[in-house]
């Protein structure tokens, strides 16, 4: 049996360590650890991150956002296509909306894709831009820390959680928008910060969630089920997913469990639509 190599802090070679910076992956000791959005960073990376403003103090960097850019591009493309089909950028009618919006009676009839496709449609430019702005900020915080696959899984699970909330609370109302996925990413970030022993209220994400929940429950025309369902599903995803900088002892198991959880949420959403949705009038 070969001896295990000893890893020491890059700033203090006399100290054996087991934690690496989430950005540059250099080994760091407790004295050199700086709390980041998820996990810890070395003093050099923390100093560079502190010079940039963000919803939470430290970003992982836009250069690491790949899935987030693809998701934003898909939302933009869907908005253009839906607008062309409807003949108006502010309308919610037309063939694209009718075929792909999240709507319980059609989900119950076997059109299961609506659980996901509705998350790529928006009712107007403001609706789209607000969701894409938050998606971009959250992708910059999470994708680099989690990796592309885990970030995508968190988003898909959040979208499905939002669809489940819709099927439970308002299955007969056509629902659209990326808000469920965005709320889920906020929930995942809160839980990941708590797992890293950080205070979400100090980083700003706690206040962002609180403000958006107040808006959800006070303004008309907002899907409470979509927002709350996405938030809760994303929080579960944050409890399960494994950030890249943390010990990788069970990454495959955690990823597999996240996939199974997403499949279970989708199945539950279909069952809820079957049980609760009425006929289309």
Question: What is the pLDDT at residue 111?
Answer: 96
Closest CA to 123 of 105, 162, 96, 157: 96
Percent of the chain whose predicted confidence (pLDDT) is above 70:
86
Which carries the bigger pLDDT value, residue 48 or residue 270?
Answer: 270
**pTM for the model:** 0.79
Q: How distant, in Å, are the alpha carbons of 96, 185, 206, 251 from that of 200? A: 39, 14, 5, 25
Scan for tokens 């700033």, then name that residue.
11
The per-residue pLDDT for range 51-60, each reduced to its tens digit, is 433 333 334 4
Q: Taking the chain, what is the end-to-end CA distance rounded to the nearest angstrom? A: 71
Read off the pLDDT of each residue in 64-92 and give the average, rounded to a whole number: 85
DSSP character string of 165-181: HHHHH-TTS-B--SHHH
Each domain of the chain, given as residue ranges in start order, spans 65-276
Q: How far apart are CA 25 and CA 84, in angstroms?
A: 47
The residue from 34, 127, 158, 179 that is catalytic is: 179
The answer to whether 158 is a known catalytic residue is no
Instruction: Give the per-residue pLDDT at 15.
Output: 85
Q: Give 232-281 pLDDT, tens digit per residue.
A: 999 999 999 988 877 666 778 888 999 999 999 999 999 999 999 877 65
Give the C-alpha separation, 39 to 37, whole Å. Answer: 7
Torsion on CA atoms 266, 90, 224, 73, rounded to nearest 10: 50
Q: What is the mean pLDDT of residues 120-146?
A: 94
Tokens of 65: 């956002």
pLDDT of residue 35: 67
C-alpha dist (Å) from residue 83 to 90, 92, 101, 249? 7, 8, 14, 47
Residue 103: pLDDT above 90? yes
Tracing tokens 């939002």 back to the chain, one arrives at 162
Say whether 227 is catalytic: yes
**What number is the average pLDDT over the span 152-174?**
97
> What does the block give as tokens for 109?
């009839």
pLDDT of residue 44: 82
Chain segment 200-218, per-residue pLDDT in tens: 999 899 999 999 999 999 9
Alpha carbon separation from 111 to 3, 8, 184 (Å, rounded): 56, 55, 23
CATH T-level assignment (fold) for domain 65-276: Rhomboid-like fold (1.20.1540)
Higher pLDDT, 61 or 163: 163
Coil, strand or helix: which one is 34? strand
What is the share, in percent, of the chain residues with pLDDT greater than 90? Answer: 60
Q: How many C-beta atoms lie closer than 10 Å to residue 257's C-beta? A: 14
Q: Note the pLDDT of residue 58.
A: 38
CA 143 – CA 65 distance, rounded (Å):
6
Does pLDDT of 106 surpass 60?
Answer: yes
Q: What are the φ and ψ backbone dihedral angles of 187, each rounded to 5 degrees?
A: -65, -40
> What mean pLDDT is predicted for residues 172-200?
95
* Beta carbons within 10 angstroms of residue 166's beta carbon: 33
83 within 8 A of 158, measured Cβ to Cβ = no
């Amino acid at each position: 049996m070969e001896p295990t190599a000893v890893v020491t802090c890059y700033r203090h070679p006399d100290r054996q360590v087991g934690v690496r910076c989430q950005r540059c992956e250099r080994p760091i000791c407790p004295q050199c650890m700086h709390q980041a959005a998820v996990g810890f960073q070395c003093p050099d990376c923390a100093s560079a991150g502190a010079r940039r403003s963000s919803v939470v103090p430290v970003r992982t960097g836009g250069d690491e956002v790949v899935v987030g850019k693809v998701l934003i591009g898909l939302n933009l493309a869907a908005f253009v296509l839906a607008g062309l089909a409807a003949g108006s950028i502010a309308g919610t009618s037309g063939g694209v909306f009718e075929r792909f919006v999240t709507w319980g009676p059609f989900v119950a009839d076997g059109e299961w894709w609506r659980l996901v496709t509705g998350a790529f449609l928006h009712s107007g430019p403001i609706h789209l831009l607000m969701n894409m702005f938050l998606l971009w900020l959250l992708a910059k915080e999470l994708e680099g820390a989690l990796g592309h696959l885990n970030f995508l899984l968190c988003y898909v699970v959040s979208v499905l959680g939002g669809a489940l909330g819709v099927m439970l609370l308002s299955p007969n109302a056509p629902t659209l928008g990326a808000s469920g996925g965005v709320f889920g990413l906020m929930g995942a970030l809160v839980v990941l910060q708590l797992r890293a022993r950080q205070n979400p209220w100090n980083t700003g994400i706690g206040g962002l969630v609180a403000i958006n929940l107040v808006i959800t429950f006070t303004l008309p025309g907002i899907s409470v089920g979509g927002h709350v369902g996405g938030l809760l599903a994303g929080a579960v995803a944050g409890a399960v997913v494994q950030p890249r900088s943390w010990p990788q002892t069970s990454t495959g198991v955690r990823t597999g469990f996240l996939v199974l959880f997403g499949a279970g949420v989708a199945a539950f959403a279909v069952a809820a639509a079957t049980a609760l949705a009425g006929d289309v009038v």
